[in-house]
A and B are shown apart, each in its own frame.
Chain A
Amino acid sequence: MKKVLSVILSLMMLTMLFVGCGKKAEETADTGAATDTGAKTEEAAATEAPAKEELAPVTLKWYLHGSNVTDDSEVLAKANEYLKEKINVTLEPIWGTWGDFDSNAVLAINGGDDVDIYFTCSWSADEYNAFARKGAWVRLDNPDNNLIEQYAPDLWKTLPTVLTQGATINGSDGYGVYAVPGYKDIATQNCWDINVPLLEKYGYTVDDIKNADYYSFGEILKKVKDGEGADFYPLLVEGNVLERMVTNSIIVTGDAGTNNLLSYYINPTDTAAEGPYGNKLLSKFETPEYKKFVEKTREYFLAGYIDPAMGNASQANDTRTAKQLTGEYLIGTQSYALGYEVQASKERGFEVAMVPCTPPYVDTTSSQGAMMAISTASKNPERAMMFLNLLNTDPYLMTLLDYGVEGVHYNMVNGEAEFTPKRDDYMPWTNGMGNVTLLPPQKGQGADFWDGFKAYYGSAGEIPVLGFAFDGSAVETEMGALANVAAEYALALNTGTVDPAEKLPEYIQKLKDNGIDKVVAEANTQVDAFIAAKSK
């Protein structure tokens, strides 16, 4: 058997050599091309504003997210005609859908595929901060070759400062910007989602909810539960969202996926001010706030206010969506986007009210909701930057790529875009492309929609640690183990399906056994460094 093994090993060596040689040849070719473009850049920079004819034709591959596109021929014909004239670019979009993105885009990035621009954000597998550290994205404000200054100064001025700040992070090339943030719903605001007709049926008004808080919902919940029967569960909650709403903690970007381990507590009335614990990160589950929250939640669960299905990670969301649509709830949890109550009322067929728990605020996660990064594998980062600049400042191009061709995919009626059935063949993720305020409002939003939008999101204050993302690479072993511990306990505790008197101490002990203290210490070192760098 030894012989066989050695033969296999030597075969592997051979194949490696083979790959190596193949790659070497390519490599030299690549460097050749790179110097070529490098020379061109210098040339272009030297002449300041390059005339269009001087730009060599370039094809840009653009990887998008959340698309539902089956026929892009008409849009691309128009867009490429336009782009050819403007910056001599031919666009080749890759219409990534929601589901295949996790593995496909990550594979493409890790494997150095020849894609120029990637969608990235704080919440999907091709995470902005992590891949910036790994070296996947070109630093756009690199002092040696500042692409933003050279090719996109207008764009940078039009973006709200919270966005540019949120995009400025620690990456492979130092503290800087690694992607162009999209201007969409950039604020976080958690709300109680109220079934108004049902609330009024029992003699309460929305004001009664506004004046109460989670800990004093008991009376209202009891009355409705008694009136509606045993099969009715008045509290319709996403456990992890509920926990954040009640304790005023936020998602720490870079934390262990959906079950956060770390907490940053904000000041619920003035989100720009320091929170009750200052600029410190805490182990989420060891605080008195958390203990109080889970005890109350357990009480509500035992009283039959919370559906047991909510503690069941894979089932919770389906159940929640179904009950929202049938109106089988009284108070729900919802992360808000402007105009959502109108949309929800229409979808569900009854009046829905949103009662905010805090003013809208911008944190790292929400400011990095949709971004476009230039890949380090791109042969033409300059041209990619020009394209992103044009996309985010030119309403014609943005509308064409996002909505489709006017008269084919949509028609303009009274200043609103009304989609045609053809739009079903061309549906990119509207908010996943760039500056949405360049688009005409959609039917039903009202012609002055963007004024309200800019006012609402413009008012959103930044929290003190905006831009901070936790880098777990020094504690990956612990993060891997802790993510599993959290998956075992967090949701069950947050929905009251298990008894906190028994499970909370067990949970905390297990977190300690798996190194939560080390993670918190590491996180706080990073926060301190971040605050210091930011205030400089």
Chain B
Amino acid sequence: MDDQHLLDQFFTHPDCRKVRSCIQCGTCSGSCPLAAEMDHAPRELFALIRDGEIDIALRSNTPWYCVSCYQCMDRCPQEIPVADIMYRLKQMAIAAGCQPRSHKLPDFYRAFADDMGRNGRMTETHVMARYSLKHPMDAAANMATALKLLARGRLDLIPNRTHHPAQIAALTTMCRKRGSDS
């Protein structure tokens, strides 16, 4: 998909259109607890998009580092829904197949979606197990905590389930797709 098409797609969305009114004050970047980890903090990301660099925006780790704390959205003097726009960028990146390879969060979200697709509900132990298949080091770091949880009867080995998990899987395209993979 060419950049112009992606740009049009971005600016067609009512939330994203508000990026045009950004005054580049940087309040969003200053409020963001994970700005230091981002390829481009939100202010810079918006400048790039307005310059037509949608491809850079979609490939950047920025939206994936957004932790949905909504500080930026609460403080933006132009009332730009910054965090909501990050969600839109994540969805566009997934759809266009251009999320950053080095980033681990899409794997975590997929582990979450897989578990939900299979059981209708999420069980932390199972999400961690699925995620660990791709990122074993992260699992190793959590072993001590896992043992403490086990000792307190808080490690769920049997998954949480709805009556008919297949219904939940059928309900969402995401879950339908992921459910048939497994």
Q: Do A and B bind? A: no
* A positions within 8 Å CB-CB of B: none
